[in-house]
Amino acid sequence: MTKNIYLLLLSLVLVSCGESSNTTPTGQTAEPQKVYKWRMVTTWPKNLPGLGTAPERMVDNIRTMSNGRLDIKVYGAGEIVPALEVFEAVSQGTVQMGHGASYYWKGKVPIAQFFTAVPFGLTAQEMNGWLLHGGGLELWRELYARYNLFPIPGGNTGVQMAGWFNKEINSLEDLRGLKMRIPGLGGEVFEAAGGTAVNLPGGEIFTSMQTGVIDATEWVGPYNDLAFGLHQVAKYYYYPGWQEAGPTLEVLVNKEAWDQLPDDLKAIVETASLAGNTDMLAEYTARNNMALQELVNEHQVELRRLPDDVLAELRSIAVEKTAAIVDDDELSKRIYDSWMQYRDDVIEYHEISERAYINARAN
């Protein structure tokens, strides 16, 4: 009996010693070093250059910065859920995180498209300005809180290409009757111009073109399009990517999972995502031009610019379609107003900065 009491007292002393070893220099008792093992589903094929490798780099950084306390495993499209079910899977807590693009969810949340890209919208640099210093991210978080989600910008491809066609596009008439993979609002503009828009995840594009399920497709830009081999299934490669000038990719975190993280891990996730956001743009900027040379010089791809009158007609349809996303919900109106005001202001400023400089450099 005495021996048992002695052992009990000893164990209490040991427990309290154990606790005291967790005391921080400021004298506060630290949280136990809990390890979080999370899963991240993505809308991209596993390790696809740029879109797929960015989330892998992001979770590596999170693991290192957290000293292994937040360990996230990345899954490609279809490994746990299909590409276009990422939003639901994270919203419902099937997994803790996702990496995708908000315009994929336009059927469920139409106004979310403003947080990826709308046709003739913002460039990558302008998107980052609106989201991070122009009020956009606060609106995005307010919107996604309704779906039990916490979004963080997680990548940007820069200006995309208009896409791959097997015939020349000389007028709007040439788009009529074409079945094209083109997601988001760009797809609606394409439909209003007489085509049929299809929203296919990246991994299904090549086969769909090869088997004639679709006649034309846009994907990203030379770097990714070359990796998919799209030059093997289409002859003409058109620019500029009016439908996506600077699409932001999103990191999604399930709201309950997010709320359970201690503040230092929250800061690590947010910082790693934002680092991935700018790193992806740097990767595309460096790689796209190399890939374009290869497409044109080695694979004899016919590079074409969309005629000005075709772009002008698409633009006037886009203005109407963009305004039409706004519904009776007052938040959707606030998102639209914030975006439009910012767009008008930044266009004016970029006339005398970005555009003026690029023009000056060219001449």
| Contact set for Ca ion, span 91-110 (CB under 5 A) | none
Provide the minimum distance between the beta carbon of 219 and Ca ion in the complex, in angstroms, as a whole number.
6
* CB-nearer residue toward Ca ion: 244 or 283: 244
CB burial of residue 39 (10 Å; 0-12, 13-18, 19+): middle
**Shortest distance, position 268 Cβ to Ca ion, whole Å:** 30
How open is the CA angle 163-168-174, to the nearest 5 degrees? 90
The nearer residue to Ca ion, 128 or 160, going by C-beta atoms, is 160
Nearer to Ca ion, 76 or 247 (CB): 247
Alpha-carbon distance of 207 to 65, in angstroms, equals 40
Q: CA 25, CA 27: separation in Å to the nearest integer?
A: 5
Q: Measured from the CB of residue 116, what is the shortest distance to Ca ion in angstroms?
A: 9
# residues contacting Ca ion (CB under 5 A): 3
53 versus 116: smaller Cβ distance to Ca ion? 116
| 255 and 145 Cβ atoms separated by less than 8 Å | yes
Residue with tokens 């956001």: 277
Contact track, Ca ion, 153-192, x by CB under 5 A: -------x--------------------------------
Q: How far is the CB of 190 from Ca ion (least distance, A)?
A: 12
Q: Shortest approach of Ca ion to residue 161 CB, angstroms?
A: 8
Q: How far is the CB of 202 from Ca ion (least distance, A)?
A: 9
- For Ca ion, the closer of residues 55 and 134 by Cβ is 55
Q: Which of residues 141-160 bind Ca ion (CB under 5 A)?
A: 160
Strand order in 97-100's β-sheet? 70-75, 36-42, 97-100, 248-254, 149-156
The residue (of 134 and 246) whose beta carbon lies closer to Ca ion is 246
Nearest to 117 by CA among 23, 281, 239, 248: 248
How would DSSP label each residue in 134-155? SSHHHHHHHHHHTTTEEEEEEE
DSSP per residue over 339-361, as a string? Answer: HHHHHHHHHHHHIIIIIHHHHHH
Q: Which is nearer to Ca ion, 59 or 178 (CB)?
A: 178
SS3 content of the chain, % helix, strand, coil (to 5): 55, 15, 30
- Between 153 and 187, CB nearer to Ca ion: 187
How many CB atoms neighbour CB 166 within 10 A?
Answer: 13
Binding mask 11-40 for Ca ion (x = CB under 5 A): ------------------------------
CB 143 within 8 A of CB 91: no
Residue 160 beta carbon to Ca ion: minimum distance, rounded to whole angstroms: 5
CB of 218 to Ca ion, least distance (A): 5
By beta-carbon proximity to Ca ion, the closer residue of 69 and 99 is 99
State how far Cα 1 lies from the chain centre: 66
Tokens of 318: 């886009």
Cis peptide before 240 (omega within 30 of 0): yes
Residue 160 vs 288, nearer CB to Ca ion: 160
What is the nearest approach in angstroms of Ca ion to the Cβ of residue 244? Answer: 5
Q: Minimum Å distance from CB 163 to Ca ion? A: 8
Residues 204-223 that bind Ca ion (CB under 5 A): 218
Length of the chain: 363
C-alpha distance from residue 223 to each of 45, 127, 290, 303 (Å): 15, 21, 8, 15
Q: Which of residues 222-261 bind Ca ion (CB under 5 A)?
A: 244
Residue 205 phi, psi (nearest 5): -70, -50
Query: What residues line the site for Ca ion (CB under 5 A)?
Result: 160, 218, 244
